[in-house]
Amino acid sequence: MDLAREGRTAPLAEFVEHGLPADVADPAGNTLLMLAAYHGHAETVRTLIGLGADPDLRNARDQTPLAGALFKGADDVVAVLVRAGADLDCGTPTARTAAAVFGRAHLLTG
């Protein structure tokens, strides 16, 4: 989890390539992708998606990686998730709602 939080893409990818589930989650339901997205690590997010991580998995608070990235102002992460087809309408708040609240709705249009 710390590798995702810190954006240490290469060692994290190696763990996943050797069997760590791409969608492993901490006790709060935060996946590697959620942690990387929330902490603004676009390359880590891109790599995890490429390794099979689900961009729409929600944590225990029903939050998505996309809404987290919008909240944190990680515009480059938002772009990666949108290009990967992240659902704009799942979670609480939805990405559309989070984008509207934080003045970033323009980031959700391709």
Residue 109 is predicted with a pLDDT of 81
Residue 25 CB partners (closer than 8 Å, separation 6+):
31, 34, 57, 59
88-103 pLDDT, tens per residue?
999 999 999 999 999 9
Q: What is the CATH number of the domain that holds 6?
A: 1.25.40.20
73-87 pLDDT, tens per residue?
999 999 999 999 999
For the entire predicted model, the pTM comes to 0.95
Residue 110 is predicted with a pLDDT of 57
CA distance 3 to 79: 21
**Domain extent at residue 48:** 2-108
CA Rg value for the chain = 13
Residue 82 is predicted with a pLDDT of 97
Q: Return the SS3 of 76.
A: helix
Number of folded domains that form the chain: 1
Phi-psi region of 63 (alpha: psi -120 to 50; beta: other; left: phi over 0): beta
Residues of the chain scoring pLDDT < 50: none
Residues listed for the chain = 110
Secondary structure (DSSP) of 52-95 = T--TT---TTS--HHHHHHHHT-HHHHHHHHHTT--TT-SSS-H
